[in-house]
Structure 1
Amino acid sequence: MNWSDPSAIGYPALFGGVLLGSVIPIVPTGAVVGAAAAVATTTDHLSLPLVIVLAVLGAYLGDVLTFAVPRFGSEALLRWVERRQQADRLAKGREQFARRGWQLVVIGRLVPAGRIPVLLAAGTLSYPWRRFLPAGLVACVLWAVAYSLLGIISGGIFDSPLIATLLATVLVLLVTVAMTLISKLRRKPERTGGGPR
């Protein structure tokens, strides 16, 4: 393998970064995908379709692993969760996954900080594999395309790969902050309107 070739480093870094960040949220995976898409748009070092495919594969594998941890150890983990949660909340969680599991998995992947809680809840509540796998794949495709578009936009504005990558990273961070604020604002009325029961 020729390590002086940027694609020899770029593709493994993209896949590994997305996979790692999907299991342990220490890597800003959206920024990694946006930056790779910006480089693919402004140079011939990376292929945009391959960037999207590797982003989907890394995210999907990471989500499946995250879902599998509580799913395979569900008895012990479920007992641990049950001791810390009210029975009615667990029942409500099961009911929500039974009715809207697809939506929860897809939205959890797209909303900042929503993915891991949704995947852990789905695994703990024994959401079926046959439903999770296609829902997770759809979620990862939408996510990879959305963040690639931010890289494509930045690459279309600037010809410089460095500036396009920086702009893609800034755009991803701005979108993440905006989505987090919207999510918090939407939760506020639920908290204030509900009151004690």
Structure 2
Amino acid sequence: MSEVSEWLLTALLNHGNTLLGGTLFLAAFGIPLPATMLLMAAGSFTRQGVLPLEGALLSACVGAVAGDGCSYVLGRTGLKLVPRSITGSQGWQRAAALFSRWGGWGVFVSRFLLTPVALPVNLLAGSTRYPWQRFMSAVVAGEVIWVFLFGGLGHLFASQWEVLSQLAGDAMGVLMGAVLVLGGIWALVSSRQRRR
């Protein structure tokens, strides 16, 4: 376990739900923190009676959703810094159209299954002006699943949450690798078909 993780666990014991919500906010906003590990630890601590269950769930959901909302706003306001030659390009327009069609699913799935791409998805949603209400609906649904899934696993397997956290991290890495390989194959095939 890294020094940051150990510090966060100690701080979670000392500062409880405030630290949990704040850490999940910062992680959703793009700061690289072990959010899933902390969520599983919090679930374990609720089982042990160290943290109140309802407060932990509420803090985790509010922190994660607020962080996602802020990174969406960052993408939307940061769009002004992107040169017009890029935002007016055919590739950008295609990406915006594709995100308009499938973005809700992308946002939803990246909350709990493909969490490493959550920040780029949030920034893309903001920069392509994906509708705020649709974005936040997908965010809330996905974050609630993430909190209940990983917090619940920590609660259920309180004595083994560290091992479970490591397994979840490894599985996420394998899943992301598979998604990147499949995405690369899809892009290559699409590129060849367009040339023809």
Q: 1:190 to 1:88 in 2, by over 3 A?
A: same
Q: CA RMSD in A?
A: 2.3
**Quick one: distance in 2 between partners of 1:109 and 1:73?**
22
Matched residue, 1:75: 80
Instruction: Map Cα deviations across residues 97-140 of structure 1 (whole Å, 9 max, x no partner).
Output: 22222112112223032111111111111112122222221121
Task: Tell me if structure 1 keeps the 8 A contact 2:44–2:157.
Answer: yes
| Unaligned runs of at least 5 residues, structure 1 | 1-5, 159-163
**Quick one: distance in 2 between partners of 1:69 and 1:121?**
10
For 2:67, the aligned partner's letter is G
Displacement of 1:167 = 2.5
**Quick one: distance in 1 between partners of 2:88 and 2:186?**
19
1:129 aligns with 2:125: no
Please report the TM-score for the alignment, with normalisation by the length of structure 1.
0.80
Say how many residue pairs are matched: 181
| Unaligned runs of at least 5 residues, structure 2 | 1-11
Displacement of 1:171 = 3.2
1:24 aligns with 2:30: yes
**Quick one: distance in 2 between partners of 1:50 and 1:171?**
26
Q: What SS does the corresponding residue of 2:137 show, helix, strand or coil?
A: helix
Q: 1:194 to 1:129 in 2, by over 3 A?
A: closer
Q: 1:178 to 1:149 in 2, by over 3 A?
A: farther
> Where do 1:7-86 residues align within 5 Å?
9-41=15-47, 43-77=48-82, 79=83, 82-83=85-86
Matched residue, 2:121: 118
**Quick one: distance in 1 between partners of 2:190 and 2:56?**
44
> Where do 1:181-196 residues align within 5 Å?
181-196=177-192
